[in-house]
Chains A and B, each alone.
Chain A
């Protein structure tokens, strides 16, 4: 992809975004440690519903680590420690009174490798609403399942085989099933950790299209290795390097006119 096409795309995307609303999530002075090793150093960032935010950077730069602090998935790693504050709608998610289970329902996550439960397609989507009591009865649950699968663009492909195992689907379909599973809980934020890196180009295009459609209703944060993908799907981009947030700004600005030379070097392929 040439610089001009990225330019065009970014300019087009900038036209339809506004950013003076209150941020959905905000992180202030966040540092993450694995034991004594610092993985994230003093990162402050804000993400909103109206934008898709992309985290880019070379391997091992801490972007996935940071993403996982946003719904406290790092809690499952005993040696991980988080400093600073992260707020969801003004509420500190690391405060002692915070219920982690509810937090993860409000901040959903899609992983790099599609990981549907080894249960039926229906069960995969219905599981979240069921444990959180979101549906009053069978009919309502059916509606949630259908609605979520529709929004994930999977309904037409699976509506006749909802009882089949979720693991029998193709990789791209599995990933959309995982997105449907996340949507079904009606979260406020969806975190995506390289959601398309294990998929072929056609499945990737479908996921990207889906991200476009989900924008506005959910705050979406996506970690990606693929800079073209960041340029295509996001309005805001954060560039991480060695645990530092180097630059955070509009995607169009990051890709056309980065303020930092390190960002410039990375997006032009000089390292990474």
Chain B
């Protein structure tokens, strides 16, 4: 062996090397911080814009309208509203016309265009609650029409803006929380739309999706990871599942259309079919995450359980699965969040129809939050802009709530080994 010269650790070349190393680390750190800052900036911009535009959607402008029921053309006997025929009596009366006439009487010709098309429903509900209103002149604060509401924000027609400032000076304008937005369904008039129909549609769809995708996905992962022999067939299955997770979602929509609607003749536009389609999409994500979580359970736990005479099923369900559950739940969160925000496959199975009432069950026609947002964003009326943002806020809150529950469950099941 040839003798080497003594290494000089303090030589100029060595010092330069150290400086370069420090420089590289500083640069790497700076790039990382910049990346995080940029993504946080975009996130803040997105959330800020949504909140700025959308919070107004939860509020409504109200116009004071006084209705003199005894003097009006309304034919409705207060006595008829206390019996079993109350519903029919209310339905037969022309409340809508009475309210429109009252608005015209209050604010002159064109007065009816100041209040929302759906505002007479408030009057009807108030009468149903207290029939004695019919015996006197009553005052109502009714939701303003979309045109006036837009004018209130300074973005409307000059004619309505003048109207608005006049009304405001006379004290006929008030603002309040738009409860109808949270309890109603889609409508043609932006001042009358609600998100509840789409929210319930999303909820029912997610229930179907998770009820199918979670058990099937987890059990597939368990079988493939713990039981299946390693051979060509299981390899093909594994590759197929990995590919399924990467298939564009609209393809799943086409699949749902072909299989569930055209072949199985399930009801069109229903949360059941939407849930089935999204379950197909979510399952591969859960299988992949589940397999990785199962793989991460140390083999010593399996050995320990086998050595006291646990059967393979007992090993999996008593020991391995509980340890893998946090990881499986993380995968489920990712899959479910993706399914919740999915629009394209649902368009294919007809969940984009105009739904003026919330679905009453899994087989009722429905729409879902992202599709509702998509539909509203396409509307020409200015009033829909803030409603779209408000719907996005509702979707994000739904998403956060779902993730919150999943994270809570994950922490609850998390164990150390």
Q: List residues of chain A with CB under 8 Å of any chain B CB.
A: 71, 73, 76, 78, 101-106, 108-111, 113, 115-119, 127-128, 131-132, 165, 167, 178, 181-182, 184-185
B417 near A118 with CB under 8 A, answer yes
- The CA of A108 and the CA of B305, in the complex, are separated in Å by 11
| Chain B: interface residue total (CB-CB under 8 A) | 22
Sample 12 A-B pairs with CB under 8 A, ordered by A number: A71-B307, A73-B306, A78-B229, A105-B308, A108-B307, A109-B307, A115-B298, A115-B300, A118-B415, A119-B415, A128-B310, A131-B308
Return the chain B residue nearest A106 by Cβ: B309
- The CA of A103 and the CA of B311, in the complex, are separated in Å by 11
Return the chain A residue nearest B314 by Cβ: A131
B307 near A101 with CB under 8 A, answer no
- The CA of A165 and the CA of B417, in the complex, are separated in Å by 9
- The CA of A102 and the CA of B303, in the complex, are separated in Å by 15
Contacts of A132 in B (CB 8 A): 309
B309 near A131 with CB under 8 A, answer yes
B124: CB under 8 A from chain A? no
Q: A118-B323, A118-B415 are in contact. Are A78 and B308 (CB under 8 A)?
A: no
- The CA of A209 and the CA of B306, in the complex, are separated in Å by 26
- The CA of A131 and the CA of B314, in the complex, are separated in Å by 9
Contacts of A167 in B (CB 8 A): 416-417
- The CA of A272 and the CA of B259, in the complex, are separated in Å by 66
Q: A117-B301, A118-B416, A118-B417 are in contact. Are A104 and B319 (CB under 8 A)?
A: no
Q: List residues of chain B with CB under 8 Å of any chain A CB.
A: 229-230, 298, 300-311, 314, 318-319, 323, 415-417
> Would you call the interface of chain B mostly helix, strand, loop, or mixed?
helix
A111 near B416 with CB under 8 A, answer no
| Minimum C-beta distance from A267 to chain B (A) | 30
A113 near B310 with CB under 8 A, answer no
The 4 closest A-B pairs by CB, nearest first: A105-B309, A115-B300, A128-B308, A109-B307
- The CA of A111 and the CA of B310, in the complex, are separated in Å by 16
A116 near B309 with CB under 8 A, answer no
- The CA of A127 and the CA of B317, in the complex, are separated in Å by 13
Q: A111-B300, A118-B301, A118-B323 are in contact. Are A182 and B416 (CB under 8 A)?
A: no
- The CA of A116 and the CA of B303, in the complex, are separated in Å by 10
A111 near B309 with CB under 8 A, answer no
B309 near A117 with CB under 8 A, answer no
User: Most chain-A Cβ atoms within 10 A of its Cβ — which of B308, B314, B318, B417?
Assistant: B308
- The CA of A109 and the CA of B308, in the complex, are separated in Å by 7
B416 near A178 with CB under 8 A, answer no
Q: A111-B300, A131-B314, A167-B417 are in contact. Are A117 and B307 (CB under 8 A)?
A: no
A111 near B304 with CB under 8 A, answer yes
